[in-house]
């Protein structure tokens, strides 16, 4: 595996490669026999505002013989890939999503991912906080309230959250609310309804924050999005 600016990665056995979206690479074979590749790409939300830092900084390589506990999932995926049964595409997408979760758990457990959203969702303190923010963006969250959910002091929580997520707690809340607002805009929900759904007392205050975070007012944004946005796919599978 050849990537600009980093040492080449030799892959001498069947393996899973876990690459960040910023990774540009070429796969070169030293054998005359072609290598078989099964690939999937993942998207987190649709044009999410702000840097939802995932924590995947470099390509991770998992030789299959080190993933014995994942053998059932991998076996099902390969079998489905080579088959032609009804619902194949949907099944492959779901299997890849499941495999993705298992790999994240493994990478976090091995210390190969130690910051960002992928790490935080496996962290006992931050996972609770993030789940509540994601489930209830309309709640008038405060740093004190979030710190209590994490069972941490306000100062320690703020520092730990920023260290792991690369954002202040309330900065993350705001960006998440705008991400939810974008999804609701796409679904045709009225702006005044969206405002209350993501924790704002007025359409005007919501629109100001949306414009500051996203770069344009909600009405203008949805016009642009409807013209330019491709369909959302959480896992795209190819050969």
Same domain assignment for residues 152 and 198: yes
Same domain assignment for residues 154 and 187: yes
What pTM was estimated for this model as a whole? 0.72
For residue 168, give the nearest of 123, 133, 205, 196 by alpha carbon: 133
Count the Cβ atoms, other than its own, within 10 Å of residue 153: 13
Range of the domain at 104: 15-37+56-113
**183-212: pLDDT as tens digits:** 999 999 999 999 999 999 999 999 999 999
Q: Per the domain annotation, does 238 fall within a domain? A: no
Same domain assignment for residues 122 and 109: no
Q: Last residue of a domain, which of 113, 134, 152?
A: 113
Q: What is the CATH number of the domain that holds 173?
A: 1.10.10.60
Beta-carbon-side half-sphere exposure of residue 173 (alpha carbons within 13 Å): 21
At how many degrees (to 10) do helices 124-135 and 154-165 cross?
Answer: 80
Q: For the chain, where are the alpha helices, taking DSSP H only?
A: 71-82, 88-109, 116-120, 124-135, 143-150, 154-165, 169-186, 191-197, 203-214, 218-228
**73-129: pLDDT as tens digits:** 888 988 988 888 888 888 988 888 888 888 888 888 888 888 888 899 889 899 999
Give the strand pairing for 15-18 and 60-63: antiparallel
Same domain assignment for residues 22 and 103: yes
Q: Last residue of a domain, which of 66, 87, 113?
A: 113
Give backbone dihedrals phi and psi of 91, rounded to 5 degrees, phi first: -60, -40
């Amino acid at each position: 595996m050849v990537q600009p600016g980093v040492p080449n990665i030799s892959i001498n056995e069947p393996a899973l490669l876990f690459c960040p979206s910023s990774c540009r690479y070429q796969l070169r074979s030293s054998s005359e026999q072609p290598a078989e590749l099964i690939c999937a790409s993942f998207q987190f939300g649709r044009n999410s505002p702000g840097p939802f830092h995932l924590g995947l900084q470099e390509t991770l390589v998992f030789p299959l013989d080190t993933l014995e506990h994942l053998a059932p999932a991998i076996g099902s995926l390969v079998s489905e890939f080579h088959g032609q049964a009804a619902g194949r595409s949907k099944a492959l997408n779901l299997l890849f999503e499941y495999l993705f979760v298992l790999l994240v758990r493994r990478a976090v457990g091995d210390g190969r991912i130690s910051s960002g959203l992928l790490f935080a969702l496996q962290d006992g303190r931050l996972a609770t906080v993030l789940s509540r923010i994601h489930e209830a963006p309309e709640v008038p969250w405060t740093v004190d309230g979030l710190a209590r959910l994490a069972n941490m002091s306000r100062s320690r929580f703020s520092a730990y959250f920023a260290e792991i997520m690369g954002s202040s707690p309330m900065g993350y809340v705001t960006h998440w609310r705008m991400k939810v607002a974008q999804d609701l805009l796409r679904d045709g929900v009225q702006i005044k309804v969206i405002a209350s759904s993501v924790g704002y007392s007025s359409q005007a205050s919501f629109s100001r924050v949306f414009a500051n975070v996203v770069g344009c007012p909600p009405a203008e944004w949805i016009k642009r999005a409807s013209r330019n946005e491709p369909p959302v796919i959480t896992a795209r599978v190819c050969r």
